[in-house]
Structure 1
Amino acid sequence: MEFHELQGERIKLIPLEFDHIPNLYEYSEHPEIWTHYPAKIRTLEDS
């Protein structure tokens, strides 16, 4: 079974793609997000 997308009234889930990495990295710059994460991602290359 291949997943393409799941859409509800207020949200749409799509599979992650490599094209999403730069935007996800930009939105994850807040240090408190990584407080309990075992790896430190400080640069785009770390992701």
Structure 2
Amino acid sequence: MQSVQWAQPNLTVHEAEVSAVWVEPRRRAWHERATPRAGALSS
């Protein structure tokens, strides 16, 4: 991981932010769709 941060720290931080803002919500949405009981939480 250090080599990646050393090669392009900005991209690493940006990717981390994008992952937290986009990937995680999409993961949760997909999981909620896949989980029937969680359907009530999805809007």
Q: Which has the larger radius of gyration?
A: 2
Higher strand share: 1
TM-score normalized by the length of structure 1: 0.29
- In the superposition, the TM-score normalised over structure 2's length comes to 0.30
Q: Which has the higher helix share?
A: 2
